[in-house]
Structure 1
Amino acid sequence: MKHCIIALMTVFGFLSACRSEHDKEHVAEKAALSPAEYVNPLIGASTSTGKAGVYHGLGKTFPGATTPYGLVQVSPNTITGGDNGSGYSFEHTSIEGFAFTQMSGVGWYGDLGNLLVTPTTGALKTARGKEGVAGSGYRSNYSKKDEKASAGYYATTLTDYNIKAEMTAAPHSGMLRFTFPEDKKSRIQIDLARRVGGTSTRQYVKVVDDHTIKGWMQCTPEGGGWGNGDGHAEYTVYFYAQFSKPFKKLGAWKADIPKDWKRKREDIENDRYQAQVAKAVVMDSVTELEGDHLGVFAEYDTKKDEQVLFRSGISFVSMDGAEKNLQKEITSWDFDALHKQAVALWNNALSAMTVSGGRDEDKRIFYTALYHTMIDPRIFADVDGSFTGGDGKIHASANYTRRTIFSGWDVFRSQFPLQSIINPKLVNDVVNSLLSLADERKKTYLERWEMLNAYSGCMIGNPALSVIADASAKGIARFDKDKALKYAVQTSNQFGNGERGYTVEPFGISNTLEYAYTEWCTANLAKSLGKEDIAAVFDKRGQSYRNIFDESEGWFRPKDKSGNWQPWPKEGRLKQWYGSIEANAYQQGWFVPQDIPGMVTLMGGKEKVAADLAVFFDKVPENMMWNDYYNHANEPVHHVPFLFNHVGKPWLTQKWTREICRRAYHNSVEGLVGNEDVGQMSAWYVLAAGGLYQVCPGKNRFEITSPVFDKVAIRLDPNYAKGKAFNIIALKNSPTNIYIQSAKLNGKAYNKCFIDYNEITAGGTLELTMGPKPNESFGD
């Protein structure tokens, strides 16, 4: 009897165990979220310099609604002025309104933030007012408790007016839903002059019918904007907007801004300017109006919880274009259906990479990072393919989509290597856009930081050449390579180390090293076209980095025009801005991606370099905020953790990439240690957390490192890749098992710490077995 009881208990235990495992699987299945559900657009949404501890601020992302690479971003704006490129910072307590265009993660004062829509009640106010001063303008305090941000959606409550505001988007258009209180003076007002880094300088509006208006806002350097005017941004935003509730009349305000007043960032921030706007002439009814500082409003008598919706198409081509964009994309007033459509677009885009294993927090960081890499370079063409070219004329292209916002100095490092795997068409769109822009503007060189057709000249180097050479090396180029080479040669000759073999101040180290790299890129492109004479010239220039290495100091050092060394600072390599932009010589000096063996030899060999790299990382603060050593908050060092792979210590690459993923990225507003920089900061995480990284765009070598996740599945584009998917599997992976013990590629033993791009795009599986201690024989 006893044995029977034991047997029954054993069977019962087995069944219970089965049920338990089944229940766990069921719960896991039930808890599984779609990629879009993991996205938290509030990650990085702060411009606070105080919390960053440096003038660059934190992530500078925007939390509003957009679609993958969409032209429209409907987002809350908490501030006009300062170095607040996103127009929003989480610690601000009031919102000016909700704009239809934004930038992501930029400094240099920013731009866009156009078509600012604000729901209000009570007496009309024409000026935005001051943060923290109740009733000083149309801005309103808002409820942090009610603030919600997700892929394709944003909502909050404007507490001064007791109005709930929700927004969603389509690629060229957006919709807002306002839930009003009972009030005889409810309204939707639009500040047409508003612009993040200054003001638009001319506006126009026309009433089409009792629920439709159209118009434009002209933005010029005289009104500040990108670089406070120094970025040369000059564009016109056209809109075609509709209200769900017909208005009996459309009112307007017109501020009298004296002709001799300047209208850049610092001017429009001051009290004098705002006082002038506050006493603008208000017109109860207009049918057509043009001026220098305009706003319009539709006023309603609303019942409690009455919803009034606003939708608008946006175009950089024409009002007709804006109308076509809206009519093509938003055909009803069904806000929830449009929101669902936006989420579907995000789920499809984010499915380019899927991850499993790891913490829920890690997935939220990963998918939000992937989301942030899909904001720019955004669509610049209308739904019919037409776009405004650099010559101011309207063009159309059948073989590429015109795009804009190329943050070159940032994104050539990680963003474009990532896109070359998951979205190679986008890479070609950008190259074609840059080549066409140069043709249209009749320039002899390619722009380094393009925004809305502007040759802004922002930052340094020739990053477009990196993107071009990389696409060519990978065999994914779908652009005129002969034209690309012509511009690469001209760009390198105009902005490069030239026959002198180095670049003088400012930023003699940064410029010399970065030009040497892109001159090498020019050589590689020339070789692919059989132009050996051109290749020989630029191969030699690719070695220019050697000309500024001072053996007496054992490091890179800037020279003057006569070839003499610049004085060595008492702080040595740690002196910020010594020959280096946004960095010190210690940080910038590691940038010789085209010839790492040559760099290592100059620096004293592998063991000496490995020891120096160890110091570079060991002295980093725990929170990895801005510092003098490995400074993940800024781009020049982003490749450095992977240099351990090149000096025979790949386990230290594995250690430090996992540490950076853990310490520099978080699921929080302050979750990015530096500016997002238009996808670069997030692209680094996506690649590194997935177990890959490309140190030198133009060479097809991808470093292998320790994945954060148990499995990473990469969807490949059949128009460019031989395979359908590439998978990275990490067996026995955990926060402690961070070291690669062994590897297999498609079932065969693999003992390299790198993999070729063509092996990735051929499809297959890289299987890594992980452990708690380094296997120093792996990857040697």
Structure 2
Amino acid sequence: MTLRIKLMGMAMLVLSIPTFAQMSLQKTEALEPVQYVNPFIGASTSTDAAGVYHGLGKTFPGATTPYGLVQVSPNTITGGDNGSGYSYEHTSIEGFAFTQMSGVGWYGDLGNFLVMPTTGDLQTAAGPMDRPQDGYRSACVKSSEHAEAGYYKVDLTESNIKAEMTAAPHSGMLKFTFPEKKQSRIQIDLARRVGGTSTLQRLEVVDDHTIRGWMKCPPEGGGWGNGEGSSDYTVYFHAQFSKPFKEYGVWKADIPSDWSRKREAIESERYQQRIAEAVVERKVKEAQGKHMGFFAEYETTEDETILVKTGISFVSMEGAKNNLEAEINDWDFEKAKDKAKALWNTALSKVAIRGGTEEQKTVFYTALYHSMIDPRMYEDVNGNYMGADGQAHRSSDFTKRTIFSGWDVFRSQFPLQTIINPVLVNDMINSLVTMAEQSGKEYLERWELLNAYSGCMIGNPAVSVISDAYRKGIRDFDTERALRYMVNSGERFGNGKRGYTPGGLSISHTLEYAYTEWCTAVMAEDMGEKRIAKTFFDRSKSYQNIFDDSVAWFRPRKEDGSFEAWPAEGRLLEWYGSIESNAYQQGWFVPHDIEGMINLMGGEAAVREDLTNFFEKAPENLMWNEYYNHANEPVHHVPFLFNYLGAPWLTQKWTRLICERGYKNSVEGLVGNEDVGQMSAWYVLASAGLYQVCPGDTRVDITSPVFDQISFQLDPTYAKGRTFTVTAINNSPDNKYIQKIKLNGKQLKHPFIDFSDIQAGGELELVMGAAPNYNLK
């Protein structure tokens, strides 16, 4: 089906649940969900503020739409570990790009088609951050920055220009308000790319208000992981200007063929000097170059506005044109902005909340907003998409999607989507399965970006997502082919016959592979593939093979089977057998066999005491630390383990505290990288009182909700019920302990339900109190 039909279907679903206003019992006039979104939450890459090399949230504040292909956002920096291209503490802006990544660590990518309004003499290099006057970069008035869902604005001080922007799913619009000037300009850096550069660009002037072209972005130009992420894509554009240009041209920098085009090279003084010395050619109808830009010049009157609207495609220039014409066919900026806002209100209304403070509502809906940026559309309005074979394809029964931050998002982001957006889960699985087929690799990528097998991080997270979806009845994909690729992934990257994975990250590898081997086993068993199921069930016990009784913990093993030396710091040494963590943090990851893990660790009482220590020694602000480190994903399930240790009141205590301490309505409001929706999805689920410790197992754990009532809209294609509601009676900051649990009026004696209970619809009722209920286990 077409994209338009899909979007209409999504809109119709929203009509089936109570509106946000109906759910709200505020004495003041109810606000819509979209009005609680603050895109500046997490919009910092500052390592100083984070106190660690990973920085903070790394979100972007610009305009986008739910899971949209286009993001029109300010960019403050090209190089360094700044995946979104923006950090709030920066005081100058390079320009406004039409593609961005959200919340990623590593060296980022995208940030293409960078548009900047200027006045005076043409400058072809952005210039350094500390001397914006030396380039087309401009200082900005920080107090003028304003962002909301689908809209951003800022005042640029160098030329006294106001910049505003909004977005549609495949296109965007910029509005610039100029001062009175003889020489005003809109310039577009076609080479610019976060974390690198486009290595080849083409431009065609179609008429006196239209340009089109493309930018090639291969690994040689840096980008994702500074080229190590293997991202190789071409961005096509079709751009129109509201005011015809009489004066226009291009600039071309002479970049020697033997020069590196990666991040550290383009940051160098000699490279920037070459760009500053670029040759300017006027009245050029067609041009191609290694580092090129376009400019249109005007004489402007005071407060004159000039708009630029652009369609983006990863398939063709014709696709970019069709995308623009289908979505923004006039020059009404306010109408485009209102459409973006309406799309967000529809999407965010899938979850309605009642109660909580104004800050908590802002944190919640901004978290839901951030969880709805990716996995984004990767196809044109007609369904055309670029496949992993480098050829154009057309989707028929799914939407091609991209940016699968697997190691992060299998934990919370995709379990959340199985509740509120199962169609998207099917889309992503189809996208990964067809990618495995089209590429000829026939295994599932763990961190996909624009068809790239980037190899980023570890494990086989796509296996988790597929198994979890299948076991929840979300099966609109080729299940036999998916299982085959799951098996292939496990054979290529797994514990195998050896029963563990050796090397410097032995603990992380072995535990994560053991989990996804279990995921393959349970899906194979459900499909009647007994031989596959037995093989992978056996392998899922591999975690036992790296547990060393002499230290009573997991320990990395070498190729010859011997253990690595135990460090003086013990479990607290970061990177000891573990990726971006220590053995203490990584060692809790046996979600598929928690009972077996507890037995290895000495039994329920000993583990409860150890886990309590793990939380009590964490700093109050939850910033990067050696104990419970919410800033990174390996521990995200750990607060819920108390539910398995006969102490659910401790799960309730700690999840409430994490929601309070780790999420705030501020630029530094996320304690770690957003990681493409994972950090935010954790909050959405935990604050609603629900969490899935083991995707693939349909058990859903119950904890203390932040809000008095949370209602999830369900998709009738996959669920029998219309809504599933969690109601907390007598809820308050002090009354954080669950006294009694009822599911549709029937009392439960345990702190969990099955996912099928959610799909059936109805109400989970929690009676809250100020003291733990020690009888609820």
Q: TM-score, normalised by structure 1?
A: 0.96
Shift of 1:30: 4.5
Letter in 2 for 1:33: L
> Which residue is 1:512 aligned to?
510
Query: Aligned to 2:113, which of 99, 106, 115?
Result: 115
Letter in 2 for 1:32: A
Tell me if 1:31 matches 2:26.
no
For residues 126-151 of structure 1, give each alpha carbon's deviation from its aligned partner in whole angstroms, at most 9, with x where no partner exists.
Answer: 00000121411000000111100000
For residues 588-640 of structure 1, give each alpha carbon's deviation from its aligned partner in whole angstroms, at most 9, with x where no partner exists.
Answer: 00000000000000101111110000000000101100000000000000000
Q: Distance in 2 between matches of 1:576 and 1:235?
A: 35
For residues 74-98 of structure 1, give each alpha carbon's deviation from its aligned partner in whole angstroms, at most 9, with x where no partner exists.
Answer: 0000001000000000000000000
1:421-460 mapped onto 2 (5 Å cutoff)? 421-460=419-458
Q: Distance in 2 between matches of 1:318 and 1:459?
A: 31
Q: Distance in 2 between matches of 1:658 and 1:161?
A: 48
Letter in 2 for 1:228: N
**What SS does the corresponding residue of 2:45 show, helix, strand or coil?**
coil
For residues 335-394 of structure 1, give each alpha carbon's deviation from its aligned partner in whole angstroms, at most 9, with x where no partner exists.
Answer: 001100000000000011111101000000000000000000000000000001001111
Tell me if 1:485 matches 2:452.
no
Query: Aligned to 1:353, which of 351, 354, 365?
Result: 351
Q: Judge conservation of contact 1:413–1:680 (CA < 8 Å) in 2.
A: yes
Q: Cα 1:327–1:647, aligned 2, differ >3 Å: closer, same or farther?
A: same
Tell me if 1:692 matches 2:690.
yes
Letter in 2 for 1:235: Y
Shift of 1:54: 0.3
Letter in 2 for 1:230: E
Letter in 2 for 1:391: D
Tell me if 1:633 matches 2:631.
yes
> Which residue is 1:3 aligned to?
none
Q: Distance in 2 between matches of 1:134 and 1:756?
A: 56
> Which residue is 1:582 aligned to?
580
For residues 102-157 of structure 1, give each alpha carbon's deviation from its aligned partner in whole angstroms, at most 9, with x where no partner exists.
Answer: 00001111000000000000111000000121411000000111100000000000
1:288-307 mapped onto 2 (5 Å cutoff)? 288-307=286-305
Shift of 1:31: 3.0
Q: Distance in 1 between matches of 2:597 and 2:741?
A: 29
Shift of 1:258: 1.0
Q: Judge conservation of contact 1:250–1:287 (CA < 8 Å) in 2.
A: no
Q: Distance in 2 between matches of 1:334 and 1:315?
A: 22
> Which residue is 1:48 aligned to?
46
Tell me if 1:275 matches 2:273.
yes
For residues 278-323 of structure 1, give each alpha carbon's deviation from its aligned partner in whole angstroms, at most 9, with x where no partner exists.
Answer: 0100112210000100000010000000000000000000000000
Q: Distance in 1 between matches of 2:29 and 2:738?
A: 30
Q: Judge conservation of contact 2:247–2:298 (CA < 8 Å) in 1.
A: no
**What SS does the corresponding residue of 2:551 show, helix, strand or coil?**
coil
**What SS does the corresponding residue of 1:145 show, helix, strand or coil?**
helix
Query: Aligned to 1:139, which of 126, 132, 137?
Result: 137
Shift of 1:28: 3.8
Q: Judge conservation of contact 1:190–1:297 (CA < 8 Å) in 2.
A: yes
Q: Cα 1:134–1:71, aligned 2, differ >3 Å: closer, same or farther?
A: closer
Q: Judge conservation of contact 1:186–1:302 (CA < 8 Å) in 2.
A: yes
Q: Distance in 2 between matches of 1:191 and 1:673?
A: 33
**What SS does the corresponding residue of 1:167 show, helix, strand or coil?**
strand
Shift of 1:429: 0.4
Query: Aligned to 2:230, which of 229, 232, 235?
Result: 232
- The runs of at least 4 consecutive aligned structure 1 residues that moved more than 2 Å come to 25-31
For residues 504-549 of structure 1, give each alpha carbon's deviation from its aligned partner in whole angstroms, at most 9, with x where no partner exists.
Answer: 1130000000000000111111101101111001000000000000
**What SS does the corresponding residue of 1:542 show, helix, strand or coil?**
helix
When the two chains are superposed, the root-mean-square deviation of aligned CA atoms in Å is: 1.0
> Which residue is 2:5 aligned to?
none
Letter in 1 for 2:134: S
Q: Judge conservation of contact 1:80–1:197 (CA < 8 Å) in 2.
A: yes
> Which residue is 2:460 aligned to?
462
Q: Distance in 1 between matches of 2:762 and 2:668?
A: 37
Q: Distance in 2 between matches of 1:93 and 1:192?
A: 23
Shift of 1:186: 0.5
Shift of 1:250: 2.1
User: Computing the radius of gyration over CA atoms, which structure comes out larger, 1 or 2?
Assistant: 1
Q: Distance in 1 between matches of 2:277 and 2:472?
A: 60
Query: Aligned to 2:84, which of 86, 94, 100?
Result: 86
**What SS does the corresponding residue of 1:713 show, helix, strand or coil?**
strand
Tell me if 1:286 matches 2:251.
no
Q: Judge conservation of contact 1:210–1:249 (CA < 8 Å) in 2.
A: no
Shift of 1:29: 5.4
Letter in 2 for 1:744: K
Moved more, 741-750 or 234-243: 741-750
Q: Distance in 1 between matches of 2:692 and 2:48?
A: 33
Q: Judge conservation of contact 1:710–1:733 (CA < 8 Å) in 2.
A: yes
Q: Cα 1:329–1:767, aligned 2, differ >3 Å: closer, same or farther?
A: same
Query: Aligned to 1:98, which of 96, 106, 125?
Result: 96
Shift of 1:26: 12
Query: Aligned to 1:546, which of 540, 544, 547?
Result: 544
Q: Distance in 2 between matches of 1:362 and 1:304?
A: 42
Query: Aligned to 1:173, which of 162, 171, 192?
Result: 171
Q: Distance in 2 between matches of 1:212 and 1:757?
A: 52
Q: Distance in 2 between matches of 1:571 and 1:608?
A: 21
1:352-391 mapped onto 2 (5 Å cutoff)? 352-391=350-389
1:529-608 mapped onto 2 (5 Å cutoff)? 529-608=527-606
Q: Distance in 2 between matches of 1:29 and 1:599?
A: 49
For residues 734-764 of structure 1, give each alpha carbon's deviation from its aligned partner in whole angstroms, at most 9, with x where no partner exists.
Answer: 1111000112111222222001000011000
Q: Distance in 2 between matches of 1:724 and 1:306?
A: 50
Q: Distance in 2 between matches of 1:403 and 1:250?
A: 36
Query: Aligned to 1:217, which of 183, 208, 215?
Result: 215
Q: Distance in 2 between matches of 1:471 and 1:107?
A: 27
Tell me if 1:148 matches 2:146.
yes
Shift of 1:682: 0.2
**What SS does the corresponding residue of 1:502 show, helix, strand or coil?**
coil
**What SS does the corresponding residue of 2:143 show, helix, strand or coil?**
coil
Q: Judge conservation of contact 2:200–2:216 (CA < 8 Å) in 1.
A: yes
Q: Distance in 2 between matches of 1:262 and 1:604?
A: 55
> Which residue is 1:5 aligned to?
none
Q: Distance in 1 between matches of 2:148 and 2:775?
A: 45
Shift of 1:475: 1.1
Letter in 2 for 1:603: M
For residues 452-479 of structure 1, give each alpha carbon's deviation from its aligned partner in whole angstroms, at most 9, with x where no partner exists.
Answer: 0000000000000000100111111211
> Which residue is 1:652 aligned to?
650
**What SS does the corresponding residue of 2:670 show, helix, strand or coil?**
coil
For residues 548-576 of structure 1, give each alpha carbon's deviation from its aligned partner in whole angstroms, at most 9, with x where no partner exists.
Answer: 00011100001101100110000000010
Q: Cα 1:69–1:554, aligned 2, differ >3 Å: closer, same or farther?
A: same
For structure 2, list consecutive stretches of 5 or more residues without a partner in the other structure. 1-22
> Which residue is 2:723 aligned to?
725
Shift of 1:192: 0.2
> Which residue is 2:669 aligned to?
671
> Which residue is 1:257 aligned to?
255
Q: Distance in 1 between matches of 2:470 and 2:232?
A: 32
For residues 165-189 of structure 1, give each alpha carbon's deviation from its aligned partner in whole angstroms, at most 9, with x where no partner exists.
Answer: 0000000000000000000111100
What is the number of residues matched between the two proteins?
755
Letter in 1 for 2:529: K
Query: Aligned to 1:242, which of 237, 240, 243?
Result: 240
**What SS does the corresponding residue of 2:144 show, helix, strand or coil?**
coil
For structure 1, list consecutive stretches of 5 or more residues without a partner in the other structure. 1-24
Q: Percent identity?
A: 67
> Which residue is 1:159 aligned to?
157
Q: Judge conservation of contact 2:24–2:354 (CA < 8 Å) in 1.
A: no
